[in-house]
Chain A
């Protein structure tokens, strides 16, 4: 024996932490668990911050079932929650195929592991794609609204309380905007906002021409519905309008509280990023399975470790689903 040989870890497992197995788990698996602990706390921080802001603006927070009403190929139909429920099923199902891959790995069945990994990857891609579609609808918006000088949001409804899109009643006034020519520009231009389809004046004129329209404010009534003003109140309120809001961005959104869109983008975006990186890691492991790396090791523990991460992503979605769409 050479003098440099260590006594404890001489079975080429030094990178895996040697033979010591504190808490009865291998080094990699235990570290994956503790990574998950820290990531879970990160997500809890985000969801807690969402709860903070929601409690702060509890009387004016948007109603989720009025925001997420789209379903593919069902134009105009209001289908609250169906789509997000579908996304939840897709993610749970990809969790099932993942756990089946882990299970097949225990029995060292290479083809089965590869097949289930493949299904998991497909499920992950479908989920990320669905989220992109959801974002697209959220950003594009449906009805449009106006913002007052005090920062509150006004939406338009008809006599029955049904939402009316601004495009349906706004009038086209002669163009008051001027094209910006080179000699009027400066090095640094502030307030270069994207122009909305209609100006505030066009909406005010259209509102005047349609006596059946009313304004709905952000304020929630005791029945957890938005307050609808009467015609006289609506007209005075609309005088304060300053911006036309179409769709959503990080500054303002047509659904209500500005923070609502910020949290939506941030939390679902961060979760979507986790799903995406999970898919990438799954692809790497999938190719390793095909190449027979784990077959040679006689251990599919790597599949188990990425499995832990993948289930964690599913776990987070369960909470995001509840907090954003149900409660």
Chain B
């Protein structure tokens, strides 16, 4: 293999060296090197958590955690992907549960094993304060758990690293749903509109529009007043 030039870098995928162009994401760099993903690539935009990647720089004592699709490959990265986390989730019936301060602890009792080591937070490629939301869950603060975990893409790296075997992201998903259903206020005009539609208040108007010619619609469209 040639020596990395100004325009190339050397990365190590599970220990094997590859020379790739500078300026690619880790994902693109691995593909350039000849990898074709089935696992380890999903939305390719940082929203799905399929491309969780762990790396260490040559000479660095610590592991780093990123999304391969969102991170530029750098010279001397030792990479491995962790595209799946074996973390059981707990089934529940949202409509039937009691949304009190113990609901998260009841479904995920292992959150009480948290020793506040903060390893989860350090492993989060989304920079979420993971330990803080686990702690919020532990004291029954569902709103805080939901809000701190809002950006979670469920990649699972937190749960892979946790010495207390907590399933952070499943618990947080549940917290967001409990919050959304039980603690977020309902907008009244939504219900009113649904009733109106059920009663057929708009049926005649929309039926008329459905039957219109293109020309007639164009006229109405041109006359729209934009709010």
A binds B: no
Q: Which residues of B contact A (CB under 8 A)?
A: none
